[in-house]
With several copies, the nearest count.
Chain A
Amino acid sequence: MIIDVLYFAWLRERIGVNREQITTSAKTVTELIEELAAIDEGHALAFADLKSLRVALDQQMARFDSSLANTREVAFFPPMTGG
């Protein structure tokens, strides 16, 4: 399955791109994170502290144990600071 992975804020800066296409057989967000963290040092650093990480699946907030079935777009970012 091919998934668009998006990064925002300091995750984007650590990884160096704001978007990448990943071919994966990960079933959950946690499995996808394990694959992404293995790509290179920037990815490893970005995914080092999961407590300060949030995830959205197809633009809806999700959890690390959420299933990736039928997901086309996964976004990772730090806690939001809008308003």
Chain B
Amino acid sequence: MRLSVQESAFDLGAETKAFANGAAGAGAIVTFTGLVRDNSGQVLGMEIEHYPGMTERAISDMMDEAQARFALTDALVIHRFGVLAPAEAIMMVATAASHRSDAFAAAEFLMDYLKSRAPFWKKELGPDGQTWVKAKEEDEAALTRW
């Protein structure tokens, strides 16, 4: 299992390939990648604030929980902070398991928890100023399914 909270960009292709190469024995790999949406020029970028220390601790706990609930052979979380341009990757999750249902469920579980329980705050940088992204009720509600 690997967790990286980082300011620098990451190479989605290289990370995915390295994760798959390291997942010997697994039959199924699921990845999720979150990108800065590029709504036809309405978003100039995104700034992500986080809580150093708590971020790593909270995500590590989520990964331990995911491994305990699902039969994971490996997991990876990369999450960026700082200023990002449109279409840049904000974060990625990868899960490896013998069977696809575990790999899918674990990736969705990690995403639902990352959305609402990891201490990150997003601010959209638009042509008319900066706006803190509001938490969605549906994201909080998504946690009830686990």
Contact = CB atoms under 8 A, between A and B. Distances in A.
User: Do A and B touch directly, given a CB cutoff of 8 Å in the complex?
Assistant: yes
Interface of A: 6, 8-10, 12, 56, 59-61, 75, 77-83
A81 B51 contact: no
B87 interface: no
A81 B90 CA distance: 12
State the main secondary structure of chain B at its contact with A: mixed
B57 interface: yes
Nearest to A61: B117
B132 A82 contact: no
Interface string B65-90: 00000000000000100000000001
B114 A82 contact: yes
Interface in B99-146: 100, 111, 114-123, 132-135, 140
A80 B140 CA distance: 10
A82 B51 contact: no
A83 B115 contact: yes
Contact of B121 (A59, A60, A61, A77): A77
Given A78-B121, A81-B134, A83-B111, A6 B51 contact: yes
15 contacts: A8-B49, A9-B123, A9-B132, A10-B132, A77-B121, A80-B115, A80-B117, A80-B120, A81-B132, A81-B134, A81-B135, A82-B116, A82-B119, A82-B120, A83-B118
A8 B111 contact: no
Contacts of A56: 51, 54, 119
